[in-house]
Amino acid sequence: MKEGPDIARVAALIGDPARANMLTALMVGKALTATELAAEAGVTSQTASTHLAKLDGGNLLRVRKQGRHKYFSLATDDVAAVLEGLMGLAAKSGHLRTRTGPRDASLRKARVCYNHLAGDMGIRMFDSFHGRGFLVLEREALRLTSEGAEFVAGFGIDLDKLAAQKSPLCKECLDWSARRSHLAGSLGRALLSRIEALGWAKRDPDSRAVIFTQRGEAAFARQLAVATV
């Protein structure tokens, strides 16, 4: 009856509405300050402070002090993955927080998941990469093949800089809208920021949606999400 790690602590941390709002807000990948998160959660700054201390104590957040500001972000990709998993369960049991509106469709199509591309387009890119042999599933998670490295470099991504980081290069992440994998990890992040730098898409400032321009979407389909079937 007492074996394995203590789920209840972590789940209870996520289980409070205010804290859940904060975590969801952090899913966009940006670091947010305490007051921003307070607004996001709809509570005063005092209560936000206690919440954030608890989340930090549970190792769910990464904290950086900058001047008189305190920036919070999700601790690791694993945390984001668990949050996505919970969203999947919640969505399946029919408890959406908002009625399906127009914005919901765009969220399903393309959104940001802890700084990498998720939603339909994220999945299409992942599938295409896999089909073209850029990514292979190996014992140690996902690996970028040499062909993949070449392609990615040609797309304008500095792999050496990514390799210097300690966070894993490639990782799978499971979507809550579809139930399939998309690319996470530092490469996933780099790809999204490259897409933004190319002007193919930009993020909706008020939500997790990623909005592609017409030309951007076409270029995306031509280069990143080539059909392989």
Partner DNA sequence: CAGATGGTTCGATTAGGGTCGAACTATGAA
Partner DNA sequence: TTCATAGTTCGACCCTAATCGAACCATCTG
Q: Which residues partner with 171 through β-bridges?
A: 184
Q: Of the ranges 35-43, 46-54, 62-70, 218-226, which one interacts with a second copy (CB under 8 A)? A: 35-43
Which of a second copy, DNA, none is residue 47 near (CB under 5 to 8 Å by kind)?
Answer: DNA
- From the list a second copy, DNA, none, partner contacted by residue 115 (C-beta under 5 to 8 A by kind): none
49 contact choice in DNA, a second copy, none (CB below 5 to 8 Å, kind-dependent): DNA
Q: What is the residue whose two structure tokens read 């549970």?
A: 58
Decide: 167 and 77 in contact? Cβ < 8 Å: yes
Q: Considering the rule CB under 8 A, would residue 118 count as an interface residue with a second copy? A: no
State the nearest-atom distance from the C-beta of 4 to a second copy, in Å: 6
Burial 39-77 (b: 16+ CB within 10 A, else e): bbbebeeeebbebbeebeebebbeeeeeeeebbbbbbeb
By the 8 A CB rule, do 170 and 144 touch? yes
Using CB under 8 A as the binding rule, whether residue 147 contacts a second copy is answered as no
- The CB density around residue 225, as the number of other CB atoms within 10 Å, is 19
Report helix angle 120-131 to 214-223, nearest 10: 20
Asked if 63 touches a second copy (CB under 8 A), the answer is no
The reply to whether 157 sits near a second copy by the rule CB under 8 A is no
Which residues of the shown chain bind DNA in the complex (CB under 7 A)? 12, 16-18, 33-35, 43-54, 67-70
- In Å, how far are 14, 41, 44, 206 from 33, measured between CA atoms? 19, 12, 13, 16
Query: Which one of a second copy, DNA, none interacts with residue 50, CB within 5 to 8 A by kind?
Result: DNA
The rounded distance, in Å, linking the Cα atoms of 203 and 117 is: 11
Which of 6, 86, 13 is CA-nearest to residue 55? 13
Bridge-based pairing of strands 32-33 and 171-174 is unpaired
Least CB distance from residue 3 to a second copy, whole Å?
5
- The smaller minimum CB distance to a second copy, of residues 115 and 127, is found at 127
Beta partners for residue 210, in sequence order: 203
Of residues 175 through 204, those in contact with a second copy by CB under 8 A are 176, 179-181
The answer to the question of residue 133 lying near a second copy (CB under 8 A) is no
Would you state the structure tokens that stand for residue 228, as one six-digit string?
Answer: 């392989």
Q: Between 70 and 109, how does the x/- string for binding to a second copy read (CB under 8 A)? A: --------xx-xxx-xxxxxxxxxxxxxx----xx--x--
- Using CB under 8 A, list all residues that contact a second copy: 1-17, 19-21, 23-25, 39-42, 58-60, 78-79, 81-83, 85-98, 103-104, 107, 123, 127, 130-131, 137-141, 176, 179-181, 207-208
